[in-house]
Amino acid sequence: MENEKADMRKLNVTVQCSAVYNSSIMVPGDLTLEEALQYAKNHIDEISLGELDYISDSDELDEENCDFEAEAAEIWAGEKSADTAANCDEKIQHSEPNR
């Protein structure tokens, strides 16, 4: 068993999953339901984030955002190009919720 661990290395993974939430948005009073739905789509950034309910079995591996532990350390230590590190920072900023 210990030999098996010696042959292992850490893979950092990004997993995407789905969740749903209920919320509300104020819409102009003279809109039909169809128009109100379009209004909500156009103003989705104004809808408050509610309590998230995880959707079972929705996990998917984001293969483009996975790396081995040593590779991640090299990026943050600046051993790879500054462009690569900047791309990582940008991905982190975009992954944070804006609401």
pLDDT tens track for 22-41? 999 999 999 999 999 999 99
CA dist 35 → 31, 42, 72 (Å): 5, 10, 47
Q: pLDDT higher for 92 or 56?
A: 56
Do the Cβ atoms of 97 and 47 come closer than 8 Å? no
Q: Average of pLDDT values for 47-54?
A: 96
pTM: 0.53
Does the structure show a pLDDT above 50 at 53?
yes
- Under the banding of pLDDT at 50, 70 and 90, the label for residue 54 is very high
Nearest to 23 by CA among 3, 43, 50, 4: 50
Does the structure show a pLDDT above 60 at 88?
no
